[in-house]
Structure formats: C-alpha cells, structure tokens
Amino acid sequence: MSLYCGIACRRKSFWSYRLLSTYVTKSRYLFELKEDDDACKKAQQTGAFYLFHSLAPLLQKSEHQYQAPQHSLLELERLLAKFGQDTQRIEDSVLIGCSEQHEAWFALDLGLNSSSSINASLQKPEMETELKGSFMELRKALFQLNTKDASLLSTAQALLRWHDGHQFCSRSGQPTKKNMAGSKRVCPSNKIIYYPQMAPVVITLVSDGTRCLLARQSSFPKGMYSALAGFCDIGESLEEAVRREVAEEVGLEVERLQYSASQHWPFPNSSLMIACHATVKSGQTEIQVNLRELEAAGWFSHDEVATALRRNNPYTQQQNGTFWLPPKLAIAHQLIKEWVEKPNCSTLPA
C-alpha cells in the first residue's frame, strides 16, 4: 500500500510539473481571463495598458526605433480623470496577452466610441502632448518596432477594429455586449455569440526551378515586389486556393507546392497569411498578368533576389531599375529568403 502511494504521489508530482510549464500556465491563465469577467477585471489591477486613438497606437521614438509605452491602471485612471472621462471607459479595453509572470496586457482605444459608451472620443493632439508620444498609423510604424511590440500592437489593432465593427447583432439589430476580455460579443436579446475572426489568405512564392516569380500591385510602395497573395474562397482547400490564385493572377498552373509557415496580418481587416512555395509545370512559364489584380509580374534570378535581400533601407536607397522586397517582419520576406537559401524547396504534389 505504501509503495503504491509512493508511486502515485510521484506520478501526480510529475504531471503537476508538466502542467506548470511556462507555456501551459500562460495559456491557461489567458483562457481563464477570457472566460471569467471577474478574473479579468482583477488582472487589470496589476496589468499594463497600450493606448490607441482611432486604431493608431501610441508610440515614442527611441533612436532608430519606435517603442510602445505601457501604462498602469492607476495612470490610466488619472489620465481619464484629467480629461473629464469616466473610468468606466476602461471596460472597452481588450486583452492582448500576458507576460511569463502573468502580468496581463490590455489595449484601449481613446478615439473610438462603443455603442454603450457615455463618453466622447478624446482629442488626439491633447492626448499626445500629455502622453509625450504620437498616435501613428501602425502600417507605417510596424517595421520599426521590435518583434514583441509589433505582434502585440497587431493583435490589439485587429481586436479593436473587430469590436468597432461588430457593435450590433446582425440578426436582431440590437447592441451587442463584449465580455471583459474582449474575446467575444453577445447579443442580449437572442444570446447569439460573436467571436473575432481572421480571413485566410494564401501567399505563394512560385518557382520554375531556377527563378522565382515576384509581382506588385498598384497599391504597393514604389519599387516593391512580393509573392502572390489572395483570399481563400468559401469551400476551397488550401491547395485549391493556391492553384486558383496563381492561375488567376499570372496564368500559370501549379504542379507542386509545399507549406512553409503562417502569420497573422492586421491589414486591412485581420488576415491569417498561409505561406507556401509552389513550382509550375516545366515548359509552361510564360506569364500572362491579370491587370485587374496586378500592376506587374516577372521572373527573377537567384542572384537578383539574393541581392535585393541584402539591399539596406530600400525606402531611401532605391535606384532606377532596381526593386526591393517586403521588410523582414513580413512573412513574404521569410518565404523569399527560404527560396534563396534552398531554391528547390517546392517538392510536394499539389
């Protein structure tokens, strides 16, 4: 009996140890905050807040980078009081993550009005002066942020935008109510629950074995080329979406493809970028650009792409006849870098 108890206790201790790994405890803590409004409100007491104004994050310049300052609940309450705002506005904040020490992180937009808000939006210039920073368009600042801030602010903006656009029930027309964490909205009249969603997008780097295909849209910054990308249609598999997008945009047929990685992308309305490598059929490499989708597309050699990857600061050092690639933080950059390092990575049949 004592031997059995000893074994059982050791097993219990072993499984408890495994459950208390950093990743597991963080995940379960965040789950608790999403499901329990009281726990989430308690977490705000010791949490940190990132501030936005009309979906633009508050940033402070630090040498050649931007930093996203954090504010405590007490600092936020003082700020709202100074501008004549009710602290109830803090309930419009959304949970965006936590530290390994379980300090919860929230985001609050001071320029958007919720359907239940009794306060007007705060004026941007006055807020910037008080907070000693600037509310900047995230798309322009994203590549000058560190990885942690870029990820948190992307998540925050996507959630804040989703809540701003889903304040009313599509069935009843009545105002919906967010939970404390902002992980869902509920219609009080019919109990329908709405959850934040992302749109799946395939982004594909096409190769013919020795060259890769890069394209640009008219909306791209001058000189920038990237991989092909498009939204998945309802009913499509990932493989079908890749084949269709390549056929639609450049008139080529995919023979093989390989999944690479995925990335959340907040622009324009929160997408899940699913990155793939693809190879087109041998002898069928003549590009037919769909001008409704693209401005230009072409085949680029390994040396040309490798040189573009090494080119520093493309925003200010462009030269006539040269092109540049998406910055390192974008999954398109990683996809192109993979091909340069291993050109024959598209090996799976489509």
Q: What is the pLDDT of residues 289-326, one digit of tens each?
A: 999 999 999 999 999 999 999 875 555 445 445 889 99
Amino acid at 149: D
State percent of the chain over pLDDT 70: 87
Q: What pLDDT score was predicted for residue 314?
A: 52
Q: How far apart are CA 228 and CA 322, in angstroms?
A: 19
Q: Is 138 helix (H, G, I), strand (E, B) or coil?
A: helix
Segments in the chain forming alpha helices (H): 2-19, 22-35, 37-46, 73-82, 124-131, 138-141, 147-165, 238-250, 302-310, 331-341
DSSP, res 181: T
Q: What is the largest CA-CA distance in the chain?
A: 83
Residue of 38, 119, 106 whose CA lies nearest to 75? 106
pLDDT digits (tens, 9 = 90+) for 111-145: 887 554 555 667 888 889 999 999 999 988 888 89
- Stretch 82-104: mean pLDDT: 94
Cis peptide leading into 268, omega within 30 of 0?
yes
Round the average pLDDT of the chain to a whole number and report it.
Answer: 88
Q: How far is residue 214's CA from residue 116's CA, in Å, rounded to a whole number?
A: 47
Are 172 and 189 a contacting pair, CB within 8 Å? yes
- β-pair type (104-109, 48-53): parallel
Structure confidence at residue 149 (pLDDT):
94
Q: How much is the average pLDDT of 35-45?
A: 97
Half-sphere exposure of 148 (CA within 13 A, CB side): 9
Is the pLDDT score of 10 beyond 50?
A: no
Looking at residue 119, what is its pLDDT?
A: 56
Residue 52: pLDDT band (50, 70, 90) is very high
Q: How far is the C-alpha of 193 from the C-alpha of 124, rounded, in Å?
A: 33
Question: Across residues 53-69, what is the average pLDDT?
Answer: 92
pLDDT at 268: 84
User: In this structure, what token pair is assigned to residue 317?
Assistant: 């050092």
- The alpha carbon of residue 235 and the mean position of all alpha carbons in its chain are separated, in whole angstroms, by 24
The whole model's pTM is what?
0.84
**In a 10 Å sphere around its CB, with 0-12 CB exposed, 13-18 middle and 19+ buried, how is residue 59 labelled?**
buried
